[in-house]
Chain A
């Protein structure tokens, strides 16, 4: 069973994502802030990380940077899932090694699931 880590401070969004991913038989772990999320990624080595950008304790970009610097976690694909729609942020995310940059309001849960399946089956 593949493991997905969701780092998202909005508990409702986290719950909705968890609901739809668990239904597809993914194992889902989650964190409400950047620091806890990073520690969880290092200790649990998930197959995929879904990462928000505005997070308490540690910003999403910092988490992404540290994930990509750590030899244990650098190969884990990271999907940035945010409502920040700025070209500079998209460029920065890809430069730091993000696999995808998705805008929350533009995606239905079903479409998001397809993206996750696509990345995990690559």
Chain B
């Protein structure tokens, strides 16, 4: 069995088929071709040099080896770039697969709800119909949120990004964000308290990325704190950084899920159980945004006992 799988590994043509590329675009085949070409060319030059021109064999061998080494480096670089292109293409396909699945789920719900309402209208009670309409509304919101988050991901993943820095007050940004979410926190009877000293310095950052992080963390704290919850936000100065801390008494994150929560599209199992909707992109966006601003983000959490997220941002 092991012998068979090792043989399969050596079969470059089957590897190319697995990668879904032609042999001329396949790194394994090109690597093999490069090796054979270099060996063949080296032997030919050695034989011509020593046999036809009767040059010193050591000198010829050294020159051939030097040329072979340079050729090897050049070919290796080209092939390595091919490999990277294939990896990017594979990641893109995977991203499209996951994204289309994420969008299809709420679309299916929407489609079936509309079908039920259209065909079984007479048999459904007023209360049932209202519930189905609410579900439909929730699914439309989820699709909108997912598409918005995908657009943000495309923007922040762009390696050619440039920061538009300006001086801002993080305190003011947090206050604005709390005000922006007031409708939702009031609706879920969640109390938000913000603790901050008045004399904190302003920071020089790209406010777009910082606002993404602040909004996501405050939005998540409200969303994942069911019922009458309490959210405390703290802002303080720590060395050359500002330290943001947000503590909720919500559903918390199960220990086994904690290492995955910043991954793209990851949604903790307890959220699925609690039926809390989300795109699975919020914390990925948050982490990437903080990273762009040269800050750090971390958290501690206990299932059913709430979560505390922290991030730091350099003042200058």
Partners in one complex: yes
Q: Interface on A for B, CB 8 Å cutoff? A: 9-13, 16-17, 19-20, 23, 32-33, 54, 56-57, 83-84, 86, 104-105, 108-110
Task: Determine how close the nearest CB of chain B comes to the CB of A122; give it in whole angstroms.
Answer: 25
B 74-117 contacts with A by CB, 8 A:
97, 100-101, 104-105, 107-109, 111-113, 115-116
Interface residues of B (CB under 8 A from A): 97, 100-101, 104-105, 107-109, 111-113, 115-116, 119-120, 123, 135, 139, 269, 272-273, 275
- Across the interface, do B108 and A84 meet the contact criterion of CB distance under 8 Å? no
A109's contact among B97, B105, B116, B135, by CB below 8 Å, is which?
Answer: B116
Chain B positions within 8 Å of A33 at CB level: 272-273
Q: Which residues of B contact A83 (CB under 8 A)?
A: 100-101, 104-105, 108
- CB pair A19 B104 closer than 8 Å: no
Say yes or no: A9 contacts B272, CB within 8 Å: yes
Contacts of B135 in A (CB 8 A): 12
A105:B108 contact, CB within 8 angstroms = yes
Give every chain A residue within 8 A of B116 (Cβ-Cβ).
Answer: 16, 19-20, 109
Known: A13-B109, A32-B273, A56-B269. A105 touches B104 (CB 8 A): yes
Further 7 A-B residue pairs, CB within 8 A, beyond A12-B139, A33-B272: A12-B113, A20-B120, A32-B273, A33-B273, A83-B105, A105-B108, A109-B115
C-alpha gap A56/B267 in the complex (Å): 10
Closest 10 CB pairs of A and B: A83-B104, A16-B112, A104-B108, A12-B109, A56-B269, A12-B135, A56-B272, A105-B104, A105-B108, A109-B115
How many pairs of residues, A versus B, come closer than 8 Å at their CB atoms?
57
Complex Cα distance, B275 from A17, in Å, reads 18
Among A9, A16, A56, A104, contact of B104 (Cβ-Cβ < 8 Å): A104
* Min CB gap A103→B, angstroms: 8
Taking a contact as CB atoms closer than 8 A, the residue among A16, A32, A110 that contacts B113 in the complex is A16
What chain B residues lie within 8 Å of A11 (beta carbons)? 275
Min distance, Cβ B63 to any Cβ of chain A, angstroms: 51
Cα distance A75–B195 in the bound complex, in angstroms: 62
**A87 vs B112: C-alpha distance when bound (angstroms):** 25
Q: Please determine whether A105 and B111 come into contact, CB atoms closer than 8 angstroms.
A: yes
For A81, the closest partner residue in chain B by CB is: B108
Q: Which of A17, A20, A23 has the most CB atoms of chain B within a 10 A radius of its CB?
A: A20
Residues of B with C-beta under 8 A to A86: 97
* Closest B residue by C-beta to A53: B101
A33 to B275, CA, bound (A): 12
Please measure, in the bound complex, the distance between the C-alpha atom of A108 and the C-alpha atom of B104, giving whole angstroms.
Answer: 14
In the assembled complex, the Cα of A108 lies from the Cα of B116 at a distance in Å of 10
Most B CB within 10 A of own CB, among A83, A84, A110:
A83
Shortest CB–CB separation between residue B123 and chain A, in angstroms?
A: 8
Q: B97 to chain A: which residues have CB within 8 Å?
A: 84, 86
